[in-house]
Each structure stands twice: as C-alpha cells, then as structure tokens.
Amino acid sequence: MSKPTIIEIIKSVVSAAIGVQSDKNRKKDFEEGTISTYLIAGLIFTVLFVVSLIFLVSTILG
C-alpha cells in the first residue's frame, strides 16, 4: 500500500465535498490515507470555498 499523492487527496476531497465519491475510492482513502491528511485538506477546501462564495456575492452585489 502506498500513500496517496497530493493530487489524489485533492480529487478525493473535492469529489467527497460535492457528493460524487465512489465507494471504491472512499474505501481506498480509509485504507491508505491518514485521517489528519484528509481533515487538513477538507478544512483548506472548506475555507477556500467559503472565501470564494463571499467574494462572488460581494462582487455581484457591490
């Protein structure tokens, strides 16, 4: 078993966030990755998503 690459982690977090992660990939993530890696990636994704929404709304309304 090899550790997932940064690209694989990003793909996994984004697909899980939008709800299209396959069961096969989810199982692979739990077997090969560590929880801390996915928590950090998920937090970064969430912060970037919220900041981009705030920017988009302020641009449209501003």
Nearest to 3 by CA among 33, 45, 46, 40: 33
Q: DSSP character for 20?
A: -
Into how many domains does the chain fold? Answer: 1
State residue 62's pLDDT score.
85
Structural domain including 11 reads 6-61
C-alpha separations of 27 from 12, 22, 23, 30, 53 in Å: 11, 9, 6, 5, 31
State residue 54's pLDDT score.
98
State residue 41's pLDDT score.
96
Q: DSSP character for 34?
A: -
State residue 13's pLDDT score.
94
The structure's pTM equals 0.82
Has residue 1 been placed in a domain?
A: no
Print pLDDT tens along the chain (62 aa): 788 999 999 999 999 999 999 999 989 988 998 999 999 999 999 999 999 999 999 999 98
Has residue 42 been placed in a domain?
A: yes
